[in-house]
Amino acid sequence: MPEIQALAFDVFGTVVDWRRSVAREAEALLAPKGVALDWGAFADGWRAKYVPAMARVSSGARPFVALDVLHRENLVDLLAEHRIGGLTEAEIDALNLAWHRLDPWPDVLAGMARLKRRFILASLSNGNVRLMVDVARRAGLLWDAILGAEVARAYKPTPEAYDAAARLLMLDPSECLMVAAHPSDLAAAAARGLRTAYVHRPLERGPHREATRPAPGTFDYAVDSFPELADALGA
Amino acid sequence: MPEIQALAFDVFGTVVDWRRSVAREAEALLAPKGVALDWGAFADGWRAKYVPAMARVSSGARPFVALDVLHRENLVDLLAEHRIGGLTEAEIDALNLAWHRLDPWPDVLAGMARLKRRFILASLSNGNVRLMVDVARRAGLLWDAILGAEVARAYKPTPEAYDAAARLLMLDPSECLMVAAHPSDLAAAAARGLRTAYVHRPLERGPHREATRPAPGTFDYAVDSFPELADALGA
């Protein structure tokens, strides 16, 4: 096998704790308006609309739009389901930016600094460029390039999302390591020839819903943190 | 006017000293083979083929290809013009990577660190993504995003190159400041609604060929260095 030259990262769940961050942002905006909710469940509900919304783009039922657009449509639906009314358009826009203010998992920055010395680090997320830029600037993430859905104009797990990343990095797919907490993402990357690293993120879905670890050997690497990934890669 | 949110940088000549870097790399590869040349003139000759090669893409005469591809075609022509033969394909590939090893002007890093605290910093170069990544990693440039020709699939000064940058950053063009050492680039950016900062780089074309400063007031800002730009923008 050729040497790995670049790491392509899933972001939501793998790099950042979207659930706790979105719950915090929703509470900060809605609680002062008298809304009382299970904020973690609100974040889950928002996230649950993500895959079907992207699927309509990936199937060709609608042209490509940035994830911010899908997030906002889904938010409007979610607010209606919770019978939360009276928000202005500007307030809904502000709440939609919750996804631009996601905190990294505690091990991320130390691991990225080590990995960056040896490898090209690219985001390969379904989040759009501006969302990724805002998250990275706020959290201090060390991307060399923002790739992913908006640059490829294709959402994961569409093959083009992975193909575009390798092509833009001028690498053979086998020189790229997809890093993700989600077996489906890794399986789709492997089908396009990328190598795979599973990162176990037991708290992504909140307490008491720990992710199932894939069977040993399913992916090229399986780790519990970014520093452990750096160890495994000799970085 | 709305506040500036993002700075979009031309790179060749504005951020990096391509002429001296390419001359150094060409000499390092060719001098051991007994080639004796004016290495600065060799770099100039390579660069001179850049605009006509991109023009064939911009006119639609050929489909979009990355700048690395154009650079390599131009290098083959240049070697023939200089009657330099006997290089292997791998040696020509290696020489083509001279453009991935460009040094920043001495003021760049200090200025970028200040600018990054306040603004989104994006490359808006005709160089392809991997070229930009390699230059940035080697030089320590602080990009939040690599935009430009390959992402837009349009070379500057095509309008789409500028439009795509503002669109991907989800900004009105007037919230973006184009930073460049070349009046033609700035004029094309201004025509798409971006604001403009001219940076004087007297040594870009080598000694004794200092660039002509544009008349005062031609662009929104005119500075001699990146720290001076940070001063002008209050960063």
| Dist. CA A31–CA A25, nearest whole Å | 10
Average pLDDT, chain A: 97
Query: pLDDT above 70 covers what percent of chain A?
Result: 100
| Dist. CA A48–CA A128, nearest whole Å | 18
pLDDT at A210: 81
pLDDT tens string A109-147: 999 999 999 999 999 999 999 999 999 999 999 999 999
Mean pLDDT of A99-111: 98
Q: Which of residues 16-45 of B touch A (CB under 8 A)?
A: none
- The answer for residues whose C-beta is within 8 angstroms of residue B112's C-beta and 6 or more apart is B121, B141, B142, B226
Residue with tokens 């770099």: B43
Q: Which residues of B touch A168 (CB under 8 A)?
A: 128-130, 150
pLDDT at A1 over 90: no
- Amino acid of residue A192: R
Eight-class DSSP state of A12: B
- Which residue in B130, B133, B151 is closest to A151 by CB distance? B151
Question: Mind giving me the DSSP string for A112-165?
Answer: HHHHHHHSEEEE--SS-HHHHHHHHHHHT---SEE-SHHHHTS-TTSHHHHHHH
- Which residue in A129, A144, A150 is closest to B136 by CB distance? A144
Q: Which residues of A touch B147 (CB under 8 A)?
A: 129
Q: Which residues of A touch B168 (CB under 8 A)?
A: 128-130, 150
Q: Which residues of A touch B68 (CB under 8 A)?
A: 170
User: What pTM, to 2 d.p., does this model score?
Assistant: 0.97
Alpha carbon distances (Å) from A111 to A95, A107, A141, A194, B211: 30, 6, 10, 21, 45
Q: Which ipTM value was assigned to this complex? A: 0.96
The whole-angstrom distance between A12's CA and the closest CA on chain B is: 18
Q: B209 pLDDT band (50/70/90 cuts)?
A: confident
Q: A211 pLDDT band (50/70/90 cuts)?
A: confident
pLDDT at A108 over 90: yes
Q: B170 CB near a chain A CB, below 8 Å? A: yes
pLDDT at A208 over 90: no
Q: Which two tokens stand for residue B131?
A: 């070229």
Mean pLDDT of B193-198: 98
The alpha carbon torsion through A140, A146, A149, A151 (nearest 10 deg) reads 150
Q: How many CB pairs under 8 A join A and B?
A: 47
pLDDT at B211 over 90: no
